[in-house]
Amino acid sequence: MQRSVVVVAGVSLAIVALVAAGAVGAAVGFALGSRIPAPTARGERWVAGEGPDKIALVRLLGPISQEGGGLLPFGPAVSARRVVELLERARRDAAVKAVILELNTPGGSVVGSARIHGEVLRLRRAGKPVVVLMTEVAASGGYYVATAADRIVADPSTLTGSIGVLVVLPNLQEFNRRIGVRTVVFKSGRFKDMGNPDRPVTPEEEAIFRALVREAYERFVGVVAQGRRMDRARVLQLADGRIYTGTQAHRLGLVDALGSLDDAVALARELARLPRARLVEYTGGGWLEALASLRFPWPGGQVPSVDQPFSLQYLMVP
């Protein structure tokens, strides 16, 4: 009998505790009200703000390559294709009224940089303002991408600029001689094995490489002149490959303002004429996808590849 009373009392206390917890939870929820963000769609993370309209935050972190992967001196490369997919998603999302593209990249692939640049222009043509936020580094191909935006905001200590092009050709001739490796090449034409690391570059090949670099450089200068509404002669004065701090770049007209994420959000709201908006981050595939895409580097940071022995790069080298 006594045991039954104890059990009944315990159950009663548990019920009272549950009812009390529910009441407290309801009161807290009522008090917080609109400050609790609405659920976000899959692949989005709520960052700040409220309201039906959204500002999408897309991050470009790391060296730029076409498909990502590759452990480079600056860390694993980011996939230009993936960044373009996120920007396309923002363009198609009717609730997104503006986009902030955060850059922390030394640049990279000429083709990859151009793809992202083109998608930023498409966003603007769709009526969605784009604000670039430069954090630690936004150089070379990173700056190429930034020129497509409506506005560029940089941290005062950002490293940017490095407007230029390079081709890196490893020369393993002496190394191969020491370990006794010889390469025999049968080719259909005298330029078919241009860039062969087992022999010096000939004067004729050097002229061809310089022409490739010059063409990509002229395109880069044109993009800067158009995006920054700057005289081409002025761009040529700045485009000697040197890097600038955010403060220097602002003084030279390469960026529009100095500030942080909060400043970029305020500018995006102003351009989109939004009294309020939710800032949501468009997320990628996560760390497992990044880990699966890594390839370990050759000593010195170069990744040997049979299908891509060299490429044109908008890259700030360390």
8 within domain boundaries? no
What pLDDT does 42 receive?
A: 65
266 within domain boundaries? yes
Q: What is the pLDDT along the chain (318 residues), one digit of tens a residue?
A: 444 444 344 444 444 444 444 444 444 333 433 344 444 556 789 999 999 999 999 999 999 988 765 544 445 678 899 999 999 999 999 999 999 999 999 999 999 999 999 999 999 999 999 999 999 999 999 999 999 999 999 999 999 999 999 988 887 878 878 888 888 888 898 988 888 888 888 999 999 999 999 999 999 999 999 999 999 999 999 999 999 999 999 999 999 999 999 999 999 999 999 999 999 998 754 444 444 444 444 444 444 333 345 567 878 876
Which residues lie below 8 Å from residue 52, measured CB to CB, with a gap of 6+?
A: 95
4 within domain boundaries? no
For the chain, how many structural domains are there in total? 1
What pLDDT does 306 receive?
A: 35
Residue 203, by phi and psi: left (phi above 0), alpha (psi -120 to 50) or beta? alpha
What pLDDT does 308 receive?
A: 47
What pLDDT does 312 receive?
A: 78
**Two tokens, residue 8:** 């009944």
What pLDDT does 41 receive?
A: 59
**Can you spell out the DSSP letters for the chain?**
-HHHHHHHHHHHHHHHHHHHHHHHHHHHHHHHGGGSPPPPPTTEEEEEE-SS-EEEEEEEES-EESS-EEEETTEEEEEHHHHHHHHHHHHH-TTEEEEEEEEEE-EEEHHHHHHHHHHHHHHHHTT--EEEEEEEEEETHHHHHHTTSSEEEE-TT-EEE----B------HHHHHHHT-------SSTTTTTT-TTSPPPHHHHHHHHHHHHHHHHHHHHHHHHHTT--HHHHHHH-SS-EEEHHHHHHHTSSSEE--HHHHHHHHHHHHT-SS-EEEEEP-SHHHHHHHT--PPPTTS----SS-S---EEE---
Name 282's bridge partners.
Answer: 44
**Two tokens, residue 170:** 């490893």
Residues 116 and 146: beta-carbon distance below 8 Å: no
pTM for the predicted model, two decimal places: 0.78
What pLDDT does 72 receive?
A: 46
Which residues lie below 8 Å from residue 57, measured CB to CB, with a gap of 6+?
A: 47, 99, 100, 102, 279, 280, 281, 282
Residue listed under structure tokens 């000697």: 240
What pLDDT does 289 receive?
A: 43
3 within domain boundaries? no
* CATH code of 290's domain: 3.90.226.10
Structural domain for 285, as ranges: 40-315
33 within domain boundaries? no
Residues 76 and 294: beta-carbon distance below 8 Å: yes
Which residues lie below 8 Å from residue 89, measured CB to CB, with a gap of 6+?
A: 43, 56, 282
Q: Which of 154, 151, 156, 86 is nearest to 116 (CA)?
A: 86
208 within domain boundaries? yes
**Two tokens, residue 89:** 């998603």
9 within domain boundaries? no
> Is the Cα torsion angle 188, 190, 191, 193 positive or negative in sign?
positive
Name 102's bridge partners.
Answer: 59, 133
What pLDDT does 38 receive?
A: 45
> Catalytic positions, please?
140, 192
129 within domain boundaries? yes
